[in-house]
Amino acid sequence: MSETKQRCIDFLEEHNINLDSEIDFDVNGEVHTLSFRYITDAFMMASEESQLVFLTALEKSTNSKDGMGIERFFEGMGQLLLLTHLSKNIEV
């Protein structure tokens, strides 16, 4: 396990965030469910630089004065994953 991934997991555990929490996304009437663990794992497969960006944004989500919060952070990251997946599957 990478050091950055371990830092993400430790950070979530310190803030009592359950990695098995799930978010449902409605994509054209089809519901896709992603867990915080899946979203974290997916981003930890990226480059070290991208992993650090993910971790930094996660940390800032808990300190945000605009009320972003961890759940909204994972909603945004999950949407990004789904959009990336769907864009790879578009038939032209």
Domain boundaries, the chain: 3-88
pLDDT of residue 65: 64
**Is 80 exceeded by the pLDDT of residue 44?**
yes
Q: What is the pTM of this model?
A: 0.84
For the segment 58-70, the average pLDDT, to the nearest whole number, is 77
86 vs 38 pLDDT, higher one: 38
Q: Roughly what angle, to the nearest 10 degrees, separates helices 36-43 and 48-63?
A: 140
Binned at pLDDT 50, 70 and 90, residue 87 comes out as low
Q: How far is CA 18 from CA 9, 12, 42, in A?
A: 10, 7, 17
Q: How far is CA 39 from CA 53, 74, 81, in A?
A: 14, 7, 8
